[in-house]
Amino acid sequence: MILIKHGLIYQNNVFIKQDVLIDNEKIVEVAPNIDPTNQKTVIDAHDMIVVPGFIDMHTHLREPGYEYKETILTGSMAAARGGFTTIAAMPNTNPVIDNLDVINNIKHLIEKAYVKVLLYSSITKMQLGKELVDFSELAPSVIAFSDDGNGIQDETLMKEALENAKAVNKILVCHCEDQKLIPRGASLHGEKSIPSSSEYEQVFRDLNLVKEINTRYHICHVSTKETVALVRETKKNGLSVTCEVTPHHLLLCDEDVFIDNANFKMNPPLRSKEDKEALIAGLNDGTIDIIATDHAPHSVAEKNQDFDKAPFGVIGLETCFPVLYTNLVLKKIITLNQLLDALAYKPSVIFKLQSGIDIGKNADLTLINLKQKQIIDSSLFYSLSRNTPFNGYECYGVIKFTIVDGKIVYKGDD
């Protein structure tokens, strides 16, 4: 049993001083004063908020095939340190997660993870954009379908994928990128290599298909003001369209890029200040539903190459909350409630997961000291990789405990 005493718990969109008692994976009591006598473990949370565990619906755990970048175990450790209790792993592994054999081969790795790990299946076999996977066979074993890293180029195939996903009541989670609009041979970072139009033109195409088929659809890592406007208008028309934004796209723009530092190279690229402001506005007004890290680990050697040769991607599990709390909440750009909802409540609603501090629910909780300060130090990361643009940032908001199914899976330094 675990008793959390004196914490400010986040429940029904308000903070209230309550104790929380956990037993056998579940929350069994929430009350103003629970007697600590005979409790196995007591956490004094007088300087902490107690919130539903964060959910990251967009991570790359690299296993199988790229274990030198990250593994399911190390990625889950990084997630726990970042306050995440559930993460979803994209299928761009080697082999690609596109059949039951691959899924069955990694189930034992997921069982050893520190947090709950959900799997995506790819939309197309080997993520080649040519032939659809067997949706009906894979649906019971995966949270959703995504070819993240690749946009589906063929409109007819995309329509068929949306119809298949609807038939099995799953969401297509789509990386939108029209390859025809990307200059041949482009490898440098930014608008010249991956123009905004490559994102929003494919979003426009997909939204028309979603309207025709009337199914659910989720857009990965939105980065342009045009995409925000399209989603906003689509939601007004009542379609089941949702989207996500990353911490780096909320906090950084092309003006922040150091061209000699490939830790600022990601896809989609950092865009204009105007785009960044549109993303924040979209998060504020509910157009953008959730925050997802797009945790994309690479080795130090890979990221130490010249900017144009280095792989795309940055990590985010261990920096997400403190950088956003410090740079958005403390600056009164968004509220703490909005941040917590985007990290926990809304992902649970969209993907039909559990979240909340209520009796009978699984005890997936994150305890945070909002007043404690830290310096982001990538050398201390639990992740195998170090490729963050936020190294050296001074932040408030330190994760003190992460609890998954009633077990403490991370305890920060006192």
Taking only the tens place, the pLDDT of each residue in 10-67 is 998 999 999 999 999 999 999 999 999 887 899 999 999 999 999 999 999 999 999 9
Q: What's the chain's length in residues?
A: 414
Residue 408, strand partner residues: 403
Largest CA distance in the chain: 69
Residue 19, strand partner residues: 31
For residue 93, give the 3-state DSSP assignment.
Answer: coil
DSSP 8-state secondary structure symbol assigned to residue 53 = P
CA-to-CA separations, 240 to 5, 148, 153, 237, in angstroms, rounded: 40, 20, 22, 9
Note whether 88 and 56 are within 8 A (CB): yes
Instruction: For strands 217-219 and 14-23, give the pairing.
Output: unpaired
Taking only the tens place, the pLDDT of each residue in 164-204 is 999 999 999 999 999 999 887 555 555 568 899 999 999 99
Tell me the average pLDDT of the chain: 96
Structure tokens, 4: 């959390």
pLDDT of residue 288: 98
CA pair distance 278, 272, nearest whole angstrom: 10
pLDDT of residue 39: 78
Taking only the tens place, the pLDDT of each residue in 5-15 is 999 999 989 99
Residue 368, strand partner residues: 49, 399
Note whether 168 and 137 are within 8 A (CB): no
DSSP 8-state secondary structure symbol assigned to residue 61 = -
377 is catalytic: no
Q: Considering 294, 308, 364, 414, which one is annotated as catalytic?
A: 294
Torsion angle (degrees, nearest 10) of CA 370, 374, 377, 383: -30
Report DSSP letters for 260-325, one per residue: T-GGG--SSPP--HHHHHHHHHHHHHTSS-EE---B----HHHHTS-TTTSPS----TTTHHHHHI
Nearest to 187 by CA among 269, 302, 249: 269
CA pair distance 194, 177, nearest whole angstrom: 9
pLDDT of residue 163: 98
Per-residue confidence of the chain (414 residues) as pLDDT tens digits? 999 999 999 998 999 999 999 999 999 999 999 999 887 899 999 999 999 999 999 999 999 999 999 999 999 999 999 999 999 999 999 999 999 999 999 999 999 999 999 999 999 999 999 999 999 999 999 999 999 999 999 999 999 999 999 999 999 999 999 999 988 755 555 556 889 999 999 999 999 999 999 999 999 999 999 999 999 999 999 999 999 999 999 999 999 998 889 999 999 999 999 999 999 999 999 999 999 999 999 999 999 999 989 999 999 999 999 999 999 999 999 999 999 999 999 999 999 999 999 999 999 999 999 999 999 999 999 999 999 999 999 999 999 999 999 999 999 986
Which fold would CATH assign to domain 2-50+360-411?
A: Urease, subunit C; domain 1 (2.30.40)
> Which are the contacts of 184, defined by CB distance < 8 A and separation ≥ 6?
none
> Which are the contacts of 31, defined by CB distance < 8 A and separation ≥ 6?
18, 19, 21
Nearest to 218 by CA among 245, 197, 194, 196: 245
Note whether 280 and 326 are within 8 A (CB): no
CA pair distance 374, 319, nearest whole angstrom: 11
> Which are the contacts of 264, defined by CB distance < 8 A and separation ≥ 6?
189, 252, 256, 257, 258, 270, 314, 389
The domain ranges of the chain are 2-50+360-411, 53-350
Nearest to 376 by CA among 366, 361, 387, 365: 387
CA pair distance 118, 217, nearest whole angstrom: 18
Which fold would CATH assign to domain 53-350?
A: TIM Barrel (3.20.20)
Number of Cβ within a 10 Å radius of residue 301: 9
Q: What is the percentage of the chain residues whose pLDDT exceeds 90?
A: 94
Structure tokens, 396: 């408030």
